[in-house]
Amino acid sequence: MVTEAQVREALRKVLDPEIGRPIEDLDMLERIEVEGDLVRVHVLLTIAGCPLQERITGDVKAALAPLGVERVEVRMKPMTEEQRAALVAKLRGPGAAAAPPQRTFFTDGSTSVIAVASGKGGVGKSSVTVNLACALAAEGYRVGVLDADVWGFSVPRMLGVSGQPVGFNNMILPLESHGVKVISMGFFVPEDTPVIWRGPMLHKAIEQFLGDVYWGDLDVLLIDLPPGTGDVSISLASFLPGASMLVVTTPQEAARRVAERAGRMAERTNLRPIGVIENMSAFVCPHCGETTRIFGEGGGREAAEALGVPLLAEIPLVVELREGGDRGMPIVVSHPDSVAGRAFREAAREIARAVRTKVGKPLTILTGPGGARAH
C-alpha cells in the first residue's frame, strides 16, 4: 500500500495547465486520502466549472500510475474567494497587495524585456516579433509576447491562437501557441472592431497587460509596439526603463530614416537599442530562385550603423512567410530550414546573446511619475 507521502511526491509532476506550476505549490492540492488500494485526491479549482478538469484528472492518474495504485478518485471543487485571493497574492509576489493606492508590479529577475519597434507601419514588425518568439521558444527559452499594438493587433492571427484568456480575481492568464504565451487586445474585442482610444486609456491598457497578466517564469518577453513614437511607446518606457529595443526596417531610404527616429526615441526614454532587423530585404523567386531587391539595398545596415548597434538579420521576402502569418503558422515553425527560417533563427540566437547580460538581474518596473518602484 502506498503512503500519503509517496502520493504527494508523485503529484509534484501535476501542473496547473494554465499557470504551469505544480498544483501543490499553488495550494490546489487540498488533501490526500489513502484507503487500502484506493487513493482519493481532492483538488481545488481556481474557477468554478474549469474547462480543464478532465485534463487535471488525467494528469493526476498518470502521475500515480507508476506507484501501482489500482484505484484513483479525483474530487474537485472551486476555491473560496479567500483561497483565490491568497493564490493571486502568491503569484504576484510579496508586497503586491501592500502598496495601495499605487500599483506595484514585479517581474522575475531573469526576464529580459525586448520592445520590437518600427518607425512606420507596413515593415513587417509583427511578423518579425512572432517568428523571433517561436524561434526563441524552439531554442528552449520560456517566451511571452505582449501585443501592444492596441489599434492594429495582428499577433493572435499570426500565432494561430484565439479565444478569451481565463481570469480570476482580477488576474489574467495568457493564451499559448507554439510554446509562446501571448496577450493581446485581439482577445477582448472582435477582430473587425476598431479600438478608438486616446493616451490615458492606452496607458492603462499597457499597465494592465504588464501588471494584471500572470506571465510566470519567462526568460524573454517580446513586446510588439505600434508604429511610430507615440503614447504606447512612451508609456512602455515609463513602466520598463532599461528594457531593450529591437528596431525593424525595410531597405528603402524612407523606412530607414523613420526607423532611426524610433531608435533614437529609445535612447531618450531609457530603453536600450540592441539591434536592427531588415525585413523584406529581397524577393526570392519561388520558381527560379532569382533574388530581386524590390525595396532597394542597405537600409538596415545604414540604420544599424547610425544607431551604433549590429544588424542582426536580413529577412528575405518569400511567399511562405506571408502565408504562415495568414494561417497562424510562423515560417520558423512550418519551414525552419528555409532561407527566411534560418535568418530568423540566427537572429534569435544573436538576441539571446545580446540580452544575456541581463539574465539574473531584476528589471525595475515603475507605475509612472511618482509611482511605486519594484525590484
Beta carbons of 355 and 139 less than 8 angstroms apart: no
User: Could you read off the pLDDT of 351-370 as tens digits, one per residue?
Assistant: 988 876 444 343 333 333 33
**Could you report the per-residue pLDDT of 23-80, keeping only the tens digit for each?**
998 889 999 999 988 999 999 988 776 778 888 999 999 999 999 888 999 999 988 8
Packing angle between helix 231-239 and helix 199-211, nearest 10 degrees? 40
Maximum average pLDDT range among 107-121, 183-197, 279-293, 341-355: 341-355
pLDDT for 144 equals 92
Strands 166-168 and 171-173: antiparallel
Angle CA 19–22–25, to nearest 5: 100
Q: Is the pLDDT of residue 211 over 80?
A: no
Q: Please, are residues 164 and 187 in contact by the beta-carbon 8 Å criterion? A: yes
Chain mean pLDDT for the chain: 80
The C-alpha cell of 38 is what?
Answer: 484506493
81 CB-contact burial (10 Å; exposed 0-12 / middle 13-18 / buried 19+): exposed
Say if CB 252 and CB 295 are below 8 A apart. Answer: yes
Angle of the 339-354 helix axis to the 125-138 helix axis, nearest 10: 80
Reported as a single tens digit per residue, the pLDDT across 40-54 is: 999 998 877 677 888
Higher-pLDDT residue of 12, 230: 12
The answer to whether residue 262 scores a pLDDT higher than 90 is no
pLDDT of 201? 63
- Per-residue pLDDT at 213 exceeds 50: yes
C-alpha neighbours within 13 Å on the C-beta side of residue 202: 20
Give the pLDDT band of residue 106 (cuts 50, 70, 90).
very low
> How many whole angstroms separate alpha carbon 21 and alpha carbon 15?
5
Instruction: Extract the C-alpha cell encoding 17.
Output: 495547465
Residue 232 pLDDT: 63
Whether 373 has a pLDDT exceeding 60, the answer reads no
Model confidence pLDDT, tens digit, residues 280-330: 998 878 788 788 888 888 889 998 888 889 999 999 988 889 889 889 999
CA nearest neighbour of 215 among 144, 291, 124: 144
Average pLDDT over residues 162-180: 81
Does the N-terminal peptide bond of residue 101 adopt cis geometry, omega within 30 degrees of 0?
yes
Task: For strands 373-374 and 180-184, give the pairing.
Answer: unpaired
Given a contact cutoff of 8 angstroms between Cβ atoms, the answer to whether 307 and 273 are in contact is yes
The domain spans of the chain are: 4-79, 112-374
What class, spelled out in words, does domain 4-79 have in CATH?
alpha beta
What CATH architecture does domain 112-374 belong to? 3-Layer(aba) Sandwich (3.40)
Q: What average pLDDT score do residues 235-251 get?
A: 79
Whether residue 114 contacts residue 275, with contact meaning beta carbons closer than 8 Å, is answered with no
